[in-house]
Amino acid sequence: MGVHSAPKRYRTFGPSWLLVMGLVCLVGAGLLLANVVGFLNHSSRKGAQAIARIETRVEPISGTSRSNTVSCAGAQGLLEIPAIHLLAPVEPGTLQSTLAYAVGHVSVSPEPGQVGTAVFAAHDVTWFHRISSLSFGDAILYYSACQVLKYVVTSHEVVGHSYAIPNLPAGLALFTCWPLDALWETSQRYVVQATLVGGYQSTKVPKLTTANPSYTSYSPGQLGSLDTLAANPTPLGNLSVIGPGAGSFYSSPAALDASAAAQGAYFALLRALADPSLAPPNSYSANLLSELGAVRQGIKGYSSPLDTSVSQVNGRVQVALLKATVTLLDGSQVHLAVTETVSGNMFSPTEATVST
């Protein structure tokens, strides 16, 4: 595991990139960056992506002068971190629609290979889930249209959301929410910083292929329009992924897709409890409805966030478990746990437990 170093002092090169909540605006000599619109709203995302990588031959560029690394720079490419087995697409911007399937390049920072620090953002429960395990000196490779840029890790740390990322002459920064399993809006960020050490000409370009969403929610009848987080404001907790291959499953959009689908099936079930007319008769088993017991009166609010656990084996999801402490309409509090099984990539509630 990586060591969380104490905050370091840097001699900055030009303005620092300030990661704060708010709009993009210029303030004095510094530049305030929006903290990624939708970056913390993980649950309602749709979309997935798959990567088909073409073998790439590379030749060292003679020297590492700035002219050699600027000509082929761009904010659309591939990010590879061999130490954590990460290969991710990079797209310009940090809209939710972009972060749903890719690492986003913060557009007001320099492009990779240009003078300054290029800043990349991604969800903590997808591409950047394992960046805390990076060690100093680990390689970060950036593939653009016609060359590969090599960076090495120089520091990583947990910082506040308004931390100023130093704008170094030839730097790269990765940032995401902390802790790295959070589905909720956090006040801290995890930042990895790296410096450019060389570049390579590439004769072939890695290829990206997008695919349709992998997972769906069991939402019969009218519930299909009522199974989103937007329609069911709920405090989200943490996401855990267990089973062989969990690390690789995290380092892709799959974990976030799975958690969103599991939450959708959970919301649909509760909606059906509150208003049975929304779903056709016998949409849910009598045994499941009976297990929900007192929860059938309705939920007034949440006393704890909704945690989601996904069990998978080498990328094949089998079971999800959602747990929270809820306050019922009569004022009592109960611990609610809903188990869902996956068939044909659809999450469906199958069991529930209610305890005091």
- Tell me: the pLDDT tens digits for 114-151? 999 999 999 999 899 999 999 999 999 999 877 899 99
Distance CA 91, CA 107 (A): 10
Whether 5 maps to a domain, the answer reads: no
Q: Do the domain assignments include residue 7?
A: no
Tell me what pLDDT residue 7 has. Answer: 31
119 and 35 within one domain: yes
Look at residues 209, 234, 268 and tell me which one is the last residue of a structural domain: 209
- Check whether residue 192 and residue 325 sit in a common domain: no
| Three-state SS at 86 | strand
Give 32's contacts (C-beta < 8 A, 6+ positions apart).
18, 20, 22, 23, 24, 25, 26
- Name the residue with higher pLDDT: 162 or 280: 280
pLDDT, mean of residues 245-267: 90
Based on the fold, state whether residues 203 and 278 are members of the same structural domain. no
How does residue 262 score in pLDDT terms, banded at 50, 70 and 90?
very high
Q: Which of 178, 193, 209 represents a domain boundary (last residue)?
A: 209
Cα dihedral 59, 62, 68, 69 sign = positive
Percentage of the chain exceeding pLDDT 90: 56
Q: Out of 6-20, 131-145, 182-196, 287-301, which region has the weakest mean confidence (pLDDT)?
A: 6-20
pLDDT at residue 53 is higher than 70: no
More confident site: 131 or 15: 131
Of 206 and 355, the structure prediction assigns the larger pLDDT to 355
**Total domains present in the chain:** 2
- Within a domain: residue 9? no
Its domain, for residue 44, covers 17-209
- The rounded distance, in Å, linking the Cα atoms of 271 and 218 is 12
264 pLDDT tier (thresholds 50, 70, 90): very high
Q: Give the predicted TM-score (pTM) of the model.
A: 0.76
User: Is residue 160 located within the same domain as residue 27?
Assistant: yes
Determine the Cα–Cα distance for residues 221 and 271; give it in Å rounded to an integer.
Answer: 11
Q: Last residue of a domain, which of 156, 177, 209?
A: 209
**Is the pLDDT reported for residue 41 higher than 60?**
no
Do 24 and 122 belong together in one domain? Answer: yes
